[in-house]
Structure 1
């Protein structure tokens, strides 16, 4: 119990500092540091409390969910590998395209890795690698925010010509690396 208290207090201190750094550097909720889940919940809460909730969209979403559940039940009944989980579709609808495209690419890597005869151990390795990529991206976002927080200058790093090609090249390299890990037998 003592260690639970230590963990709670230390994480509250660290998370408070990290959120302050991120908000100062990027502004939480801005396009640079969007918060789609929080924005969605805020929109729903504002709509409910103000009485201006667009019920047409709510009903349409409910109808789409019912149709997707029925399709998924049919797919399960016939033993299909292709399923339509309603939660995954809902997340895909409200997340911005900058998040849904990498999720889709990850799903395709998993699909093609299985098609190439990848084992379940390979699939677990791919899941761990993907989790590591996500965690690494989050940690790098915090580390890049620290100099911005300290100096107040958003563009503290040197501007190099041709550096904009590095992102897509590294992204393709990560896709290749992840596919190789997932498709191993």
Structure 2
């Protein structure tokens, strides 16, 4: 909406584009912090915690998040500015938003692609498919969507192997928690690796031989899938919440 307002006002210069993005950052940050705060209140209520403790640790977590995000952006600024066929960091979502914002402000949107996307969205809606899920598969790279597919197949496997409904819900809920931990852990390790690389502690090295082949990637993927499925299948009793449901 803000982008359209800027375009209607005739603000199409690069400086106006920066102002628009700045306003967008403020809005997205406010929504994110508001959502995190409401979820924190909900968790605090469910566990029976004190509001003062919740507020204190929420503020600490928010400040740490700001320092980490801003610090990472400052460190990676030179690499993020590189434009080439193979940039150091692929940012499909940022590129998508930049294309839309620049296109609307300049009046030069790729209308054919937008109309095709609208038609595909309507077809997905008529078929009862998740529009956002299909959209993610279009603009995210195959390296990301393939892992999402593997996770969905593991979820389907757990559902097929677990006949008891309450136990199935327990295993799936535990799987979500386990997957969330893997995502958070991978992000932390990746952040540490990037910082060490950018600061020169680690040099540029690429795995060679079998270690850098697709075969090694498949082996690691199988190991990761096993470390997810085996602990979940060892759960034998549903939780009280699942039993009530």
Corresponding residue pairs, total: 172
Deviations 1:107-139 (A, max 9, x none): 111112101116111111111121111111111
Tell me, what secondary structure is at the counterpart of 2:127? Answer: helix
Separation in 2, partners of 1:54, 1:163: 42
1:7-156 counterparts in 2 under 5 A?
A: 7-23=61-77, 27=80, 31-72=87-128, 84-117=129-162, 119-151=168-200, 154-155=203-204
Separation in 2, partners of 1:100, 1:159: 23
Separation in 1, partners of 2:73, 2:147: 25
Q: Structure 2-normalised TM-score?
A: 0.60
Provide the alpha-carbon RMSD of the alignment: 2.8
Q: What are structure 1's unaligned runs of at least 5 residues?
A: 73-83
Q: Structure 1-normalised TM-score?
A: 0.78
TM-superposed CA distance for 1:179, in Å, is 2.5
Q: What are structure 2's unaligned runs of at least 5 residues?
A: 1-51, 237-245
Change (3 A) 1:116 1:23: farther
TM-superposed CA distance for 1:146, in Å, is 2.4
Separation in 2, partners of 1:107, 1:5: 35
Change (3 A) 1:110 1:56: same
Separation in 1, partners of 2:61, 2:228: 34
